[in-house]
Structures are given as structure tokens and as C-alpha cells.
Amino acid sequence: MRKSLRPYLDEKVSAGDKFNFFAFLLLLVLIAVIGVWLWSMRDLIGRFGDSLGIFKNSGMVINQPEKDNFSIHSGGQPQGFVNTPEGVYNLNTVEGMVAATLASLPTPYPTYTPYPTFTPMVVTSTPTPEKTPYVLLNGLTDEVWIKSRRIENEYSQSDYITFMGKYSYFWPPYGGINCDNSSGVEECDYMASGEPVVDNVGIAWACDNSIPLYSRLYVEELNLWGICMDRGGAIKQDTDGLFWFDHLWPSGLITYGDKITVQIYYPK
């Protein structure tokens, strides 16, 4: 009997060694399950690969200023790369699109320019001479009103004579017609009564010679009391029958020449 040189070809296939279709089907199912699992984990695997440097298609691409523009397809999908202050983003990946969108969002609160600083307005004025230590206001000072009320308390119940007059004012620091020049020397510090100008600002009046010096007066239109302390060449009865009354004050409290009603209280 001659032996075969390839005895394995003569062996018969047992039932267990036959092709098993069911086992093959199970293998395909296992391969499919593994494929689905890998597909679902693609993002995690991609990031893991990025961390290891295996993949180069990550969302963030740094130092690629040449790829700083992108276009929009007709389907609305962005392409290319975009620059932001945070870096260069690849818009071809989901991660890049999300990162670029987050980087482009506005800050929660808008920035603004603070209110400009400013220097408060400081009103300066030329100091008055030492002989006139009072503060000039648009109206009368508190000191003048206090002196006026004192005269009122003393004379308001006394008899008086009413004069119809005209209002004017004089201010000796201006010089010229505001001062006494009767002696040929300009006198601006003292009035005809001998009283100093500086002590009687707002209270003193120049009156007609027919009215005794130191007579008290009350001007109804101004609600102001005062004292006749001075004279003046033009302070007299005018051609219209009205008397001029000249107030010691740097500016007019009413219009020059306005008619006024003056109550005259002769000295006690």
C-alpha cells in the first residue's frame, strides 16, 4: 500500500469544521457594533488624537494669519479660516465653528466712556479796596437789609412827607461826577454829611438841599430804607417837578430815571 505524500488532503472534514454561517453573521454584527461605537466617539477620539499630535484637523489653528478669510457656500456653510483676537479658527470643523462663534460674541456689558471730568467754574473778581470791605452781589447785601430793617423799626411809626422823585445811583470809586469837586479837589471818601462812604454803602442817599441831612427815607418801589447823607449838583427838583434821589450803590437797582415814591422822615 502506497502512502500519500500529502495525507492531509485525504482527511475528511468533520461536521464541526464546516463553514458556520451563524458564527459569520455574529462576527459581522460585532464588527458593526464596534463601528457604530467608534463613530459615536469620533469627537472624543479626535480630541484625544489632537492632544497626542496624531490629528491635524482640530478646531483651533494657531499662527496661520495667511488663512484669515472665509466664504459662504450657496448652502450656507462657512469655509476656510477666520481670525479673531483669540486666534485663528478652522471653520471646516464643528469645534472650530463653535469656538469662533463664542469668540465673536459681544461682552456681557457694553463698554462706555466715563463721564468727562470737569473743573467747576470759579468766579473771581478784583478785590475791592480796603476801604470798602463788603461783598457786591446782583442785589443788595444782607448787611444793607439788616440796616434797612433797623431804620424801619425806629421810624416806621413816625410822621413823614411824601416826595415824588426819580431814581439814580452814584459810586465814588468810579470818580468824576460820583465824587465832590466843589473845592477843586476830588473828594471820594467822605460825603457832605462828613460820613465815610465805606460805612454807608447801600444806606446813604444824596437828597435835595430842601431835605435835611440825616433825614430817614423809605423808597416804596424798592422796599428799602435809607438816610440822606449827601448832596449833589444835579440832585435837586427837576423841571417836571420830580426830585432826584441818588443811591450810594455801584449799579442801578432799577432803571435810571424811573419814578419813585419816597417817604421822608425828618431827624428826631
> Residues 92, 73: contact at Cβ < 8 Å?
no
In the chain, where the domains are located: 36-109, 142-265
Cα–Cα distances in angstroms (integers) from residue 249 to residues 1, 132, 204, 214, in the given order: 160, 12, 9, 18
SS3 content of the chain, % helix, strand, coil (to 5): 25, 20, 50
What are 18-53's pLDDT values in tens digits? 677 788 888 888 898 888 888 887 777 777 777 676
Residue-wise pLDDT tens digits, 95-153: 666 666 666 655 555 555 555 554 554 444 444 444 333 344 446 788 899 999 999 99
Nearest-angstrom CA–CA distance, 42 and 57? 13
pTM of the shown model:
0.49
Please state which architecture CATH assigns to domain 142-265.
Answer: Beta Barrel (2.40)
List the beta strands (DSSP E) in 194-248.
Answer: 204-206, 216-219, 224-230, 243-248
